[in-house]
Structure 1
Amino acid sequence: MNPAPRGRILVLDDDLEIRNMLQRFLSAQGFEVRAARDSNQLDTFLERHPFDLLILDIMMPGEDGLSICRRLRSQGQMIPILMLTARGDPIDRVVGLEMGADDYLGKPFLPSELVARVRAMLRRQQLFARQHGAMASAMGDDDALALRIGDYLLKPHAQELTLEGEPIEVGAAEMRLLCALAETPNRPVSRENLIERAHGRLYEANARSIDVQVLRLRKIIEADASSPRHIRTVWGVGYMLVAKLEG
């Protein structure tokens, strides 16, 4: 069995008892953990240190978790985000995904489930980086494998999307999904296949979460997200990326 991945985790929760509990428990599991009490302290930590994962509480006074998530993504912050929510309505979870969260966990939760989610997210990040790093090495040229998506250029091995040479900000989950679609351009891919390609077989997701990520991608690369030309819905199957090999 491969050793569980370790990483630097940042926790944001306004409740001191929960912050301390999460920090103690995750530290005992071998992770390096810092805890922030509000968005100001969070921003300070993110400016000073690199982190592999953010655990973000949704219900906080002042700037709440949804607003923080949306702001970080708008600033180009790519850190994977695990949202903690005490709300029971599934729509709140969907909103979290729409704001840019990569996964969510409802309160109350078992500590072992939290650790399992954290490890799975870190594994996906590491696997994605290894796969595309190996692809880049095999190609030997960063420009060797690129796809033209309308006016955009995607380099899956570099996890890079550009428009007229300028990099475009894309969230980590959306980039994984875009690269998953790019594995078989101009061919429809089922939602289940996309989940496996982008996140791995053990990832627990439903069709709605993929739909949310596709919508976020469309808002980035489509002139009109309601009438997409590049990421098309194939009814009864899933989605298809319309693109051509560059070079």
Structure 2
Amino acid sequence: MRIEGSSAVVTGGGSGLGEATARLLAKLGAIVHVFDRNGDAAEKVAGDIGGVAISGDVTSEGDAAKVMDVAAKAGDGLRILVNCAGIGMAGRILGKEGPMPLADFERVIRINLVGTFNMMRLAAERMATTTEREDKARGAIVNTASVAAFEGQIGQAAYSASKGGIVSMALPVARELSRFGIRVNTVAPGIFMTPLLKGLPQETQDSLGAAIPYPSRLGEPAEFADAVRFLIENQYVNGEVIRLDGAIRMQPR
């Protein structure tokens, strides 16, 4: 599907993978709506790329509807949704201080999985009313999972469950939305150079990179963004989950 001239929403667009995606889509001619809980970060990125900053929470129906309504009025309607918003939390089910608080598990599931679903359902509603483009296309949705969906490490029960849910949604949602001309795909990144990892000592970063078969380094956000671009542009890729991880397979610890 054509990116140029398309109205796009990128969640978590104020930093990391979302920021890189927002910047690339804008460079390719999209009208990018940067949606992030951090309003200042959203404003900074949107200002740099000539986009629109909207502060909000992916788990809020009102916030999600607000950004979708704004995006639906741009260009020839909302065409692209990239879900990058999410949190990571480590915690054992049974630790030294007892069982994991249920609220911690619920928070990760709500933001990562429920938030992704919330944005998808409201984006699909707007996309379904747009005019058909070439090959009957109306829209493209790209979600962000993780290799933890497949090889979750000790302490990643909540995170792995949330990302596994995103992986499991890929095919049924793609099948359901196909009648509207809306494709749904997922990227499952490995270890990427996000703001969180940039704060780690260089020795730690090098150690993480050495565990990756090839290339033996952390992934660059721009490489994630390029995978998103491919999934949007290639009209025959649908219902797919692409691992972007340098062939790493996570060990238990």
TM-score, structure 2 as length reference: 0.40
**Larger relative contact order (CA 8 Å, sep ≥ 6):** 2
TM-score, structure 1 as length reference: 0.40
